[in-house]
Amino acid sequence: MRERFSFRRLPKRLAGFSFRSRRTRALAICCALFCLCGILSAQAYRHRAATTAAAVDNWGLSFQKEGQPPVGNASSEYLAGFDACYLGDTGQPVIYLTFDAGYENGHTAKILDTLKAHDAPAAFFLVGHYVSTQPELVRRMVAEGHTVGNHTNTHPDMSRIADRAAFEKELGELERLFQEATGQPMSKLYRPPQGKFSEANLRMAKEMGYKTYFWSLAYVDWYTDNQPTHEQAFAKLIPRIHNGAILLLHSTSSTNAEILDELLSRYEEMGYHFGSLQELANPGRAGP
């Protein structure tokens, strides 16, 4: 028969030191369990937080030194695993111009004129409303050597779309509209609306043959009724420019249309030239 364990059988010094009474023993056990639960809870919280951060995020940048590329809240190495990036070749004085557009308010023609004058290619990330209501401008973009990328059909928060069919519909419907407007297939370049993404989204875009492009420089230019002054725009866009920059501007901005010629001239004076995002996506291949 197994002998019952008893604290009384412990050496007197040990028993006296740690287990003077049943109440003390119970208190010690409760404290130990409480501490253990706290440790496990903290570890579980950190795990959930890390999982959430990896699963869904808003694109963000940290500028740490003037003239140097910023640090993204997802690393270049991590993004590369999903055919995604936010920087070009940081060893070259090259800038990739990109414009996001959800609708047309009269500034795109002037922007296109300026790009043509500087022989600067750009990528326009458009939504369904723009393509269906402005087919002439879309055709002009293509004819003048610019790339039209996929900014989704309805500009939703794509990080909330976990269903593969719904994700494919957002991108596929825009592909159809672009084909109807231009007679050409759409380039497989994708930019998540508002920079909201999830790992699942990045994976689905890659599986659809898309390369996802964030940005390494932007500023608050999208409030059409509260536009920055020229000085405010230059204060953001000049000191923070860097090699391999993917610059995001909105074509609905009157300030952007007004400053673009001077902005590109100042970049050129600083030794930069303008590269094609399409060529960055497909080295050695020009055009859509």
Q: Quick one: 5 exposed, middle or buried, by C-beta within 10 A (0-12, 13-18, 19+)? A: exposed
C-alpha–C-alpha distance, residues 100 and 252, integer Å: 8
Q: Is residue 174 assigned to a domain?
A: yes
**Beta-bridge partners for 85:** 213
Domain count across the chain: 2
**Same domain membership, residue 34 and residue 95:** no
From 19, 36, 54, the end of a domain falls on 54
Structural domain including 47 reads 8-54
**Same domain membership, residue 148 and residue 29:** no
**Same domain membership, residue 194 and residue 244:** yes
Per-residue pLDDT tens digits of the chain, which is 288 residues long:
444 444 344 444 444 444 445 654 554 444 444 444 444 443 433 333 333 334 558 999 999 999 999 999 999 999 999 999 999 999 999 999 999 999 999 999 999 999 999 999 999 999 999 999 999 999 999 999 999 999 999 999 999 998 999 999 999 999 999 999 999 999 999 999 999 999 999 999 999 999 999 999 999 999 999 999 999 999 999 999 999 999 999 999 999 999 999 999 999 999 999 999 988 887 654 443
- Answer for the pair 243, 91: CB distance below 8 angstroms, yes or no: yes
Rg (CA), the chain: 28
**Same domain membership, residue 141 and residue 94:** yes
C-alpha–C-alpha distance, residues 255 and 251, integer Å: 9
Return the active site residues: 100, 250
C-alpha–C-alpha distance, residues 24 and 21, integer Å: 5
**Same domain membership, residue 189 and residue 252:** yes
pTM of the model as a whole: 0.80
Q: Is residue 59 assigned to a domain?
A: no
The CATH number linked to 84 is 3.20.20.370
**Same domain membership, residue 72 and residue 48:** no
In our burial notation (b when 16+ CB lie closer than 10 A, e otherwise), range 114-148 reads bbeebebbbbbbbbbbbbbebeebbeebbeebbbb
**Same domain membership, residue 79 and residue 29:** no
**Same domain membership, residue 150 and residue 39:** no
Angle at 130 between CA 149 and CA 72, to 5 degrees: 40
